Amino acid sequence: MISRLPFELLSSILEEVAYSNAREIQHYTYGVDTTSTKGKVQRTLRGRVANDSLRWLSTDAIRQVNTQWHAWACQYAFRDLYIRRWRGSERWTQSRNLHTIQGYPSKDVYYRDPYCSLRKTVALFTTHPSLASSVRRIFFDGFYGIETTALIFQVLKCCDGLDSVALPWITLRYGSDEDWSHLLQLRQNGTALSSLELLAVDLKQSQIKDHARQVDKHPLGSHTVDFGHLRRIKLSGSSNLMPINDDDLVAISRTARLRELHVTGTTSITTKGLVALSRASEATLRVLEHSPLSDDGFEHPNASSTGDGSHLCHEVLQCPHLRDLAVSLPTICVDLFSDPSVKWTGDVQIRAAGVCGQIGSLGRSRDAQQGFFNILSQARSLIQAQQKRDIDLNIELYIDHFIFEPSKRLVHADLSVSEILSDGSWPVMAAPSSKGPYGQTGQYGKDERAYQCVHEEEFLEGLQKGYISF
């Protein structure tokens, strides 16, 4: 019998069955609309069915076979959960099928509790703790109040096998030290949370001005809150209400020993907080990503912003196990690429505004410009050294609106203005580029033109003749 097979083999078979069932399930939800059809009822597409709902529906038949299969199906369906606040103002009909609607749909608006999914999850996990034990990854979206933060931590307390969680940033303010210490502690079964994501968004002005929201319980100040078991932290987005800042990262760094650190799309965290957290994890850090918002990414203070005047290029090299790197630094120099023993691999992206030790900016100082081209040469030397060790390394430097590829000696940029200034005489050997302001993702804004690429020597010629400038 199939039930006598080893559990690993049985699990693989049931997972294939679930995948097959999922392909036959409706992946979209629908509604009715009369606004664009002059009163005629028409079915409209509302959105995709959530992945966790699809997994639950795809295992409906499996759950009814026996106890063992029922337990497997629950673990499969509850492995990843996405809980979000309900948004919308739909008018609900009394039938699932359009052909059974008598006359026009009702125009009555039925109130739906926007936090219903969160409240029901708390009730479900409280009464059925075995289901909560199946959760490995959970994502909360749209819950930014004090009451909903308490509900979030009630859910998390029930999940004793949780490996990864994505929370609103405000939980770092509204959550108590008891909430956070329980979330981060080593459990009795020997497991602990390994990945934490904090996602920030801007709130409405009415929400910001609400004095009831101006609450900070300072959980990071407690000695019971220990980040030592975390392996990954991701801080994403920016907020206009009590955003995560450098002081928070300094507090986390007292106990953190991370393998991955991601700080993206934020304006409230500078190199001070980034260096504090990377220093604490320098013996274990393997992935470092720092990509602030474009409007603020190059407005950080100089190297003295770390508090002790340390050289940031050297700080990056202090992580001996670092493999994946994408950072924004105020300035860079040849020291950043001077250590051939680094373990960097793949695409390394460096964003900077100038050259270390140069008072003048790249746009006005010839010495700074020459120093930058020395950096490109040193980057090529590092790439060649890694190739001798059979390590595939590609370095990209983002300076102003230019993208430099030292390995290919190419510079990518929008050169349309330079063509006008030179009366069409420069550039001579320009070629179309697949890159844009955000690497290979293409154009970001509507007014941006396609990028072109030129050789470094031709770029230097245009720089000297004033056709192009930093």
What is the per-residue pLDDT across 451-461, written as a single tens digit (0 to 9) for each?
A: 889 999 999 88
How many CB atoms within 10 Å of residue 292?
A: 23
- CA-nearest of 392, 425, 430, 426 to 412 is 430
pLDDT greater than 60 at residue 440? no
First to last CA, the chain: 72
SS3 453: strand
Split at pLDDT 50, 70, 90, the class of 177 is very high
- Report pTM: 0.85
Residue of higher predicted confidence among 231 and 51: 231
Please give the full DSSP string across 206-222, using - where no structure is assigned: HHHS-GGG-----GGGS
pLDDT digits (tens, 9 = 90+) for 180-209: 999 999 998 889 999 999 999 999 998 998
pLDDT digits (tens, 9 = 90+) for 38-82: 556 566 656 677 788 888 888 888 888 888 888 888 888 899 999
pLDDT of residue 297: 39
Split at pLDDT 50, 70, 90, the class of 298 is very low
- Across the chain, mean pLDDT equals 84
Amino acid identity for residue 447 in this structure: D
pLDDT greater than 60 at residue 109? no
pLDDT of residue 305: 42
pLDDT of residue 459: 92
Map 240-295 to HEC letters: CCCCCCHHHHHHHHCCCCCCEEEEECCCCCCHHHHHHHHHHCCCCCCEEEEECCCC
Split at pLDDT 50, 70, 90, the class of 336 is very high
For residue 379 the two structure tokens come to: 């980057």
